[in-house]
Amino acid sequence: MSISDCGEAEINDCEVIRDDGGYALRLTNNDPVTLINNLFQSNGPVIQLASYGLGTFRDNHFLRTGTDYWIQTSTHSSFHDHIIDFSGNWWGTTAVEEIAEGIWDCEDFDTAYNCVIFEPIADGPVSVEAHSLSGVKDLFR
């Protein structure tokens, strides 16, 4: 799924599972995006975050079935850094060091555009209601 230049958006109760090595979510939006109660899973990087717009990201599952990144941020130059709050989500583990290693952000590279905060972690899997891709498309009609 790609969210790019669509204006302010809210995605709730969706399930995106990739097994082809692609991103489950590619977020390149300039306006705020709200992600609540979704499942994003991939055997490649789960999320590419190249967004200039801040948003709300809570009660989601971010699951990786491979060894790639949970979140890979952009190295766009900017006038200021964004701190993106991904706390309150489930990562398939509570191992803080493992999650930190799986997030490529300003902590890893000086020119990374975003810094990701992921603690506190949800205590366990949060409820996610599945919708088809056509259901997601209906949200934008």
pLDDT in tens, 66-85: 999 999 887 665 545 678 89
Q: Is residue 137 domain-resident? A: no
Q: How far apart are alpha carbons 33 and 52 in whole angstroms?
A: 10
Beta bridge partner(s), residue 62: 40
Helix, coil or strand: residue 7 = coil
Q: Is residue 139 domain-resident? A: no
Q: Is residue 135 domain-resident? A: no
Say what the pLDDT of residue 129 is.
Answer: 52
Beta bridge partner(s), residue 9: 33
Give the domain extent around 30: 2-127
* Alpha-carbon torsion angle 128, 134, 140, 141, nearest 10: -140
- pLDDT tens track for 37-47: 999 999 999 99
Among the listed residues 10, 51, 16, 49, the one whose alpha carbon sits nearest the alpha carbon of residue 33: 10
Say what the pLDDT of residue 79 is.
Answer: 46
Q: Is residue 132 domain-resident? A: no
Q: Is residue 140 domain-resident? A: no
Q: How far apart are alpha carbons 54 and 84 in whole angstroms?
A: 7
Mean pLDDT by 10 residues, the chain (141 residues): 82 94 88 91 92 81 94 67 87 94 87 86 70 57 57
Q: How far apart are alpha carbons 47 and 41 in whole angstroms?
A: 9
Q: Is residue 85 domain-resident? A: yes
Q: Is residue 41 domain-resident? A: yes
Domain total of the chain: 1
What is the helix (H) or strand (E) element at residue 133, kind and residue range?
Answer: helix 133-138
Supply the pTM of this predicted model: 0.81
Q: Which amino acid is at 116?
A: V
Q: Is residue 23 domain-resident? A: yes
